Amino acid sequence: MRAVPSRARFIVAFPVLCLVLFVGMASCIAAEPLGRSVRCGNVDCGQMLIQVYSRFEDGDASPAFERKGISIRGRFRRGIDRAGSYRFLQAFTQYRQDDVRWIRDPGVVLPPAHIDPPPFGQRLSVLDRRNTFVRVDRTFDAMPWYDDAGEFPLYEDFPRAFLADAKKYGTITMHFETWLVCVIEEHPGGDSDRVADDHYEVAALVGWRWGYEIAYEDVGRIGVDELADYTFTVRPLTFVDAPTDEFRRALATPYGSDVQDGFDITFGDCERCFATSR
């Protein structure tokens, strides 16, 4: 989820320790870096390393302004064979949050599974300097890749949500599946204002599943909104060797209702990545 937090916090990451400066607070879920060797047949592609997977919270005493979520950070280290074009491809496999909308059709909620981030941008609520919620637009490019130009091989995400949204809209669910892919083919279409006529073929190399949920139940003082009424549950980070059916469905899901658009992405054999790059 690429949107910049409305109240930025700065996290300093070390292999076995998570520190947070200023107001935000975090605690490590993974006690040490998690890594996977990445190969395609006899080709040593490199290693995918997740260096930080930690809980995040603002530390606000009021559920109306308190946010919780995840900070995740990693890096792909290329192997001996440095050929190939690599990117990160990320999707929500389960998504439920009413507050964030697709910028092209903000009248409807985002699909329960979709590529993250949506093409062209999203609309969301942030707190301004007067602690008032305002709607802002975050614009993105029209590519399916999670990483922006110049970011790869670094991978970083920090999805978080206001606790009060779980009371207002119901349980917040953010389940992700992220893949390191090698790009076999990219075919831009003729309409720069749409993504449906673009085509991408990729090979899935290594993936990881992660995320969290925020649920509300009035268990403290009845009728009083308290932090104790909210349950924050972290999904364990696990590596996967093949794209799940959930992930494949997310890639094929269109955005919008009155206005519709969606990516055209297919999977191919990883050996074709290196055949086309040499």
Predicted confidence pLDDT, tens digits, the chain (278 residues): 654 443 333 233 333 334 333 344 555 565 567 899 999 988 899 999 999 999 999 999 999 889 999 999 999 999 887 678 999 999 999 998 888 899 999 999 899 999 999 999 999 888 788 878 888 899 989 999 999 878 999 999 999 999 999 999 999 999 999 999 999 999 999 899 999 999 999 999 999 999 999 999 999 899 899 999 999 999 999 999 999 999 999 999 999 999 999 999 999 999 998 875 44
Instruction: Indicate the SS3 state at residue 260.
Output: coil
CB neighbours of residue 52 within 10 Å: 23
Q: Is the Cβ–Cβ distance between 144 and 265 less than 8 Å?
A: yes
Copy the structure tokens of residue 194.
């749409």
pTM for the structure as a whole? 0.86
C-alpha span between 140 and 1 (Å, rounded): 11
Which segments of the chain are extended strands (E)? 10-14, 17-21, 25-28, 34-40, 43-57, 67-78, 86-96, 101-102, 114-115, 121-127, 133-139, 154-157, 160-162, 172-187, 199-216, 230-240, 265-267
Residue 57: which of 180, 185, 184, 214 has the closest Cα? 214
C-alpha span between 120 and 235 (Å, rounded): 29
Q: Is the Cβ–Cβ distance between 183 and 275 less than 8 Å?
A: no
Measured between alpha carbons, how far apart are the two ends of the chain, in Å?
34
- Under 8 Å CB-to-CB from 7, ≥6 apart: which residues? 23, 58, 67, 127
- What are phi and psi for residue 98, nearest 5 degrees? -75, -20
Query: CA torsion, points 116, 121, 127, 130, in degrees to nearest 10?
Result: 170
Instruction: Indicate the SS3 state at residue 121.
Output: strand
Q: Is the Cβ–Cβ distance between 131 and 123 less than 8 Å?
A: no
**Sole residue written with tokens 């305002």:** 134
Instruction: Indicate the SS3 state at residue 197.
Output: coil
Q: What share of the chain is helix, strand, coil (3-state, %, to 5)?
A: 10, 50, 45
